[in-house]
Amino acid sequence: MKKLLFSLLLVSLIVSCSGNKDASSSSSNPNAKKIAVILKATDSEFWQSMAEGAKKYMEQNPDKVEISIYGPPTEAHIAELVSILENVVSQQPDGILVAPPNADSIVAAVNDAKSLNIPVVTADNSINTEVNAHIATDNLVGGEAVADALVAHMKAQNKPLKGSIAIIAPDVFEVIEKRIQGFRDRMKVIAPEMTILDPRYCDNDIAKSLNISQDLILSQNDLVAFYGANNHSADGIARALRETGKQGQIFAVAYDSDPEEIQALEDGVLNALIVQDPWALGYKGVEFLMATLNGEEVPEYFNPGVFVVTKENMTEEKMKAILDPKLRNEY
């Protein structure tokens, strides 16, 4: 219970629309639908962007919906997320939007919600039970986009498509494995002479990613590129390149777009970011729940797409809005 209370307090500090009753009682309409949004973690800009999307929907529809936002401190706190979801289900909100940690851990709680006729929408990871809708990037396609971006930058600098590529990833999650598979499959086609090393996992810890990246830089003589499979993996890679003086010498491409990644892109430490649209996970997730509650049909699967952001295009209005969710007003 102490962990759960800590989690809810933490998210109330980090996410301005927290899950407490005061934050969710602003609607002038007593019939406003109560939607619970459960983030995978509160320590990541990615999940905060999802929260921003959900909040924006509420701001645009203040008399129709009240949103409470919850989440554990980190993605490693899987049991805590399950406890949060179980507690939310017991409160019987009108709908639940949840970012599952994996395919199985929340299935029982989701089934409990369904038995109470509470519609559920999942974001990012899919789960092994039916839900009303699932919103997620096509991570195979995203992995292919990473490969295309890397090869494009190497060709632009007249570098031979040879040498080793290191992959740093947070953990063995479904979405991460698809990002890696898409990257591998595409690289076999467009750069078959390059060697892709086995992924190294950092437990979604920036310091661990930094240490792994430094070790690879020092030990892998033919290392020519890094692929960071999420933001914390990429942050560690960027720090390692700076600390070893290898920025500009070793290519680096990555998923996501937290502030440290964006700064590294601007500084030329990272060459490209493959950016998902977590804002859309929150906005469309709440939209789909409201549509379901109104008896409307929603898609079983919705793909918000990915964007390739480089130093050259990051100041374009569209990309600025993708990088900063507070600039967004619509999908």
In a shared domain, residues 80 and 173: no
In a shared domain, residues 271 and 155: yes
Has residue 311 been placed in a domain?
A: no
In a shared domain, residues 288 and 247: no
- The residue from 257, 275, 293 where one domain ends is 275
In a shared domain, residues 286 and 186: no
In a shared domain, residues 89 and 143: no
Q: How far is CA 53 from CA 160, 188, 272, 319, in A?
A: 42, 37, 24, 16
Total domain count, the chain: 2
- At 201, give phi and psi (nearest 5°): -105, 135
pLDDT band at residue 326, thresholds of 50, 70 and 90?
Answer: confident
In a shared domain, residues 47 and 108: yes
Q: How far is CA 295 from CA 132, 288, 298, in A?
A: 12, 11, 9
- At 227, give phi and psi (nearest 5°): -125, 115
DSSP 8-state class, residue 129: S
Has residue 254 been placed in a domain?
A: yes
Look at 238 and 18; give whichever has higher pLDDT: 238
In a shared domain, residues 129 and 153: no
Has residue 126 been placed in a domain?
A: yes
For the chain, give the number of residues: 331
Question: What is the pLDDT, as a whole number, of residue 27?
Answer: 58
Has residue 331 been placed in a domain?
A: no
- What the block records as the tokens of 197 is 């090393």
- Is pLDDT of 10 > 80? no
Question: What is the pLDDT, as a whole number, of residue 142?
Answer: 96
Question: What is the pLDDT, as a whole number, of residue 8?
Answer: 39
Q: Alpha helix (H) ranges present in the chain? A: 2-14, 45-60, 78-91, 107-115, 139-156, 174-190, 206-219, 231-244, 259-267, 278-293, 317-323
In a shared domain, residues 151 and 119: no
- Is pLDDT of 151 > 90? yes
- At 134, give phi and psi (nearest 5°): -130, 130
Give the dihedral of Cα atoms 174, 177, 178, 181; nearest 10 deg: -160
Report how far residue 283's alpha carbon sits from residue 2's, in angstroms, rounded to the nearest whole number: 30
Has residue 94 been placed in a domain?
A: yes
Q: What percent of the chain has pLDDT over 70?
A: 92
Compute the average pLDDT of residues 220-244: 98
Has residue 314 been placed in a domain?
A: no
In a shared domain, residues 30 and 110: yes
The CATH number linked to 128 is 3.40.50.2300
Give the domain extent around 126: 2-136+277-303
Query: pLDDT (tens digit, 9 = 90+) per residue, 43-97?
Result: 888 899 999 999 999 999 999 999 999 999 999 899 999 999 999 999 999 999 9
Has residue 112 been placed in a domain?
A: yes
In a shared domain, residues 149 and 265: yes
How does strand 251-255 pair with strand 194-196?
unpaired
Note the Cα 299 to chain centre separation in Å: 21
Report how far residue 114's alpha carbon sits from residue 119's, in angstroms, rounded to the nearest whole number: 6
In a shared domain, residues 222 and 95: no
- Is pLDDT of 120 > 80? yes
In a shared domain, residues 242 and 153: yes
Has residue 326 been placed in a domain?
A: no
Compute the average pLDDT of residues 236-246: 99
- The residue from 255, 275, 295 where one domain ends is 275
Compute the average pLDDT of residues 130-151: 97
